[in-house]
Structure 1
Amino acid sequence: MQGPLIDTLARRGVTRRTFLKYCATLASMMALPPSAGRAMAEAMAAARRPSVIWLPFQECTGCTESITRSHSPSIEGMIFDMISLDYQETLMAAAGHQAEEARANAMKDNYGKYVLIVDGSIPLAQNGAYSCIGGRSNVDLLKEAAAGAAAIVAMGTCASFGGIPKANPNPTGAVSVADLIKDKPIVNVPGCPPIPVVMTGVLAHYLTFGSLPELDDKGRPKAFYGDTIHDRCYRRPFYDQGKFAKTFDDEGARMGWCLFELGCKGPVTHNACATVKWNGGTSWPVESGHGCIGCSEPDFWDGGGFYKALSVPASPVKIGAAAAVAGAAVGVGVSVANRVKKRAAKASHETTTLADLEK
């Protein structure tokens, strides 16, 4: 296996074995067969780096910040070696007229072939005057760039669903990418911000197969958004037993009980946080003691407040059937609960995960 990517990675100290392992992990996370890992590696190693144009609109730069805080093999390193990032205001050295010239040249030279990444919502009020780049509205820039794109990735909840700018009363008239572009393949990668490896996985899939991964009814990759946070949460057994923390510092919270009654939106939020985690797999919000805020769902900001419990049954009797379907057996939950209690007695402030319990 040779190619420009392999040579570049070798110079950075990334071995062929590490690269293969990375591709195998991506394939596994996306529920692809084992052979797909090698197919990904071979395709990315041999492929000419595709041009990528990243347009930042009404956003906070959190999506870019998320990618730059990736783990080894660094996702940002993989992105910059796998692709030719020809325009990204925050990361590129050029500015002003030079930056806009680089964008125009990349679009012209790679017309019909480049991947367009958009983060941030697009304001329509006041003829788009709320957000402009180089004197041009986001609406104009998006339509121009979308015309020559092979595919579009809506990066983050703002681009995917409108996000915080669209929250009531939506003074800027913010909309999502899919609200404006109807004639191009679009994949939504929501999250505030999204998980870096999810973004890389989508790009790797496109580079390998020349198409976007299988999507759900909201345009999200099923491999990463097919399950709810609740489905994979290590606190799920306590939910099934009706054991809920009442405050963030009570005995239940110290025992690792379910945060449902404190407003956790895990039961209605689709994302891979519980399995992929953040900061190199270190932790995720629920493991850190805070309920899920539902940031990868449409209109999450208007969903009733972060600390208001969902108006769905929390009784273990009522959810018993659903728990069985999800594979959350109560017997296993009791066993896990007992082991958590023993560990909690030794270190009441330590957060215990299923991974810890299985050691």
Structure 2
Amino acid sequence: MSELETKGVSRRDFLKVATMAAGAVGLPAWAGEKMAEKAASSAKPPVIWLHFQECTGCSESLLRTSAPDVAQLILGLISLDYHETLMVPSGYQAEKSLEESMEKNAGKYVLVVEGAIPTKEDGIYCRVGGKTAMETLKKVAAKAGAIVSIGSCASWGGIPSADPNPTGAVGVNKLVTDKPVVNIPGCPANPYNLLGTVLQFATFGTLPALDDLGRPKFAYARTIHEDCPRRPHFDAGRFAQKYGDEGHKAGYCLYKLGCKGPATHANCSLNHFVEVPGAWPIGIGHPCFGCTEQKLGFRMPLHDTVDVERPTAPGTYPAIRPDHSVVTPASVGVAGLIVGGLVGAGYMASKKLSNDTEKQGKE
């Protein structure tokens, strides 16, 4: 902690970012304290970060996170042994750092991949250190303890794989098939989804529960439409018809402008970027692009509408009415049930994780 304190980062701030990371993966606050405790020790999780076909946007969003500044905390929470954008060495020295980390931490390091992998046989695309992206990926993945694809490009191909896909770009899980790969799609992906996943693995030796596409359920189980702040307008039939009209200015639903939120699984509507309220596409008045979905992002025209995956209105809030000035006993009761349910769920999750940790310790 002394290293962080010299940079103006207090223990309280350090605990805060670890707790936020724990919350991102659905773990209780005490799990965040345990993450911070382990990260503050000498046993920081080693991370090797590879870049392939991408724009570095996922790395950039990580560096612009502030709660506190992850750019200062990144060396306090993890041991970032190799990252071509952030590391000081280059050339042979950089390659030496990669080889040394792989040998020293074989079976323990977390491999984070940013960018799609070109598969064309001529190997002229994306060569780093004289090696093709496929060669480097397979070599580093073979000794990794966990593999995380950060961003849509690494998860399923993203922009590089858009038609006609001249480089044969694919996601990591198309080439690494002998061990689980956690996909955290997004353009860019939310950095706390990544940080929470890495710290969970480092602290408890487990990965988050994944859906059938390898995405953490804590972030991708629900559609953006379900938790969108404009959802009440959708249920009430209030839609913006074009950019800048009265409905658009009033915050009406953007579905008719081509919003892909009803078919896009992500937590953007709940976990905004760089902790700035409203810092996400719909928050600034633009339709969701569907970047976390391989069948939508960079595949479907921007202004085409999609089928609504879960069309029924949620039961956690009433339909829009002109007058919201009265708080009824019924609404208070519903709020009480929701809060009680969340508290109960948090207690059960904490109890289960505690039991699992105890069992692992005995084994």
* Shorter-chain TM-score above 0.5: yes
**1:334 alignment partner in structure 2:** 321
Alignment pair present for 1:169 and 2:164: yes
**2:293 alignment partner in structure 1:** 297
Q: CA deviation at 1:311?
A: 4.1
Alignment pair present for 1:212 and 2:207: yes
Report which stretch shifted further, 89-98 or 138-147.
89-98
**2:95 alignment partner in structure 1:** 100
- Of the candidates 301, 306, 317, which is equivalent to residue 302 of structure 2? 306
Q: Is the 8 A contact 1:154 1:188 kept in 2?
A: yes
Q: What amino acid is the match of 2:318?
A: A
**2:136 alignment partner in structure 1:** 141
Secondary structure, counterpart of 1:287 in structure 2? helix
- Cα 1:291–1:37 change in 2 (3 A) is same
Alignment pair present for 1:178 and 2:173: yes
Secondary structure, counterpart of 1:334 in structure 2? coil
Identity of aligned residues (%): 46
- Of the candidates 31, 36, 43, which is equivalent to residue 26 of structure 2? 31
- Of the candidates 15, 25, 29, which is equivalent to residue 10 of structure 2? 15
Question: Where in structure 2 are the equivalents of 1:205-284 lying within 5 Å?
Answer: 205-283=200-278, 284=280
**1:344 alignment partner in structure 2:** none
Output the TM-score relative to the length of structure 2: 0.84
Output the TM-score relative to the length of structure 1: 0.84
Alignment pair present for 1:323 and 2:313: yes
Q: CA deviation at 1:304?
A: 2.1
Q: CA deviation at 1:144?
A: 0.4
Q: CA deviation at 1:280?
A: 2.4
Q: What amino acid is the match of 1:305?
A: P
Query: Aligned partners of 1:53, 1:28: CA distance in 2, in Å?
Result: 24
Secondary structure, counterpart of 1:123 in structure 2? coil
Aligned residues: 324
Q: What amino acid is the match of 1:298?
A: Q
Unpaired runs of 5+ residues, structure 2, are 326-363
Question: Where in structure 2 are the equivalents of 1:80-159 lying within 5 Å?
Answer: 80-159=75-154
Q: Is the 8 A contact 2:48 2:112 kept in 1?
A: yes
Q: Can you list the C-alpha shifts for 1:226-269, whole angstroms capped at 9, x where unaligned?
A: 22111111100000011100001111001110000001111111
Q: What amino acid is the match of 1:180?
A: L
Q: CA deviation at 1:88?
A: 1.0
**1:351 alignment partner in structure 2:** none
Unpaired runs of 5+ residues, structure 1, are 1-5, 340-359
Q: Is the 8 A contact 1:9 1:15 kept in 2?
A: yes
Q: CA deviation at 1:129?
A: 2.3
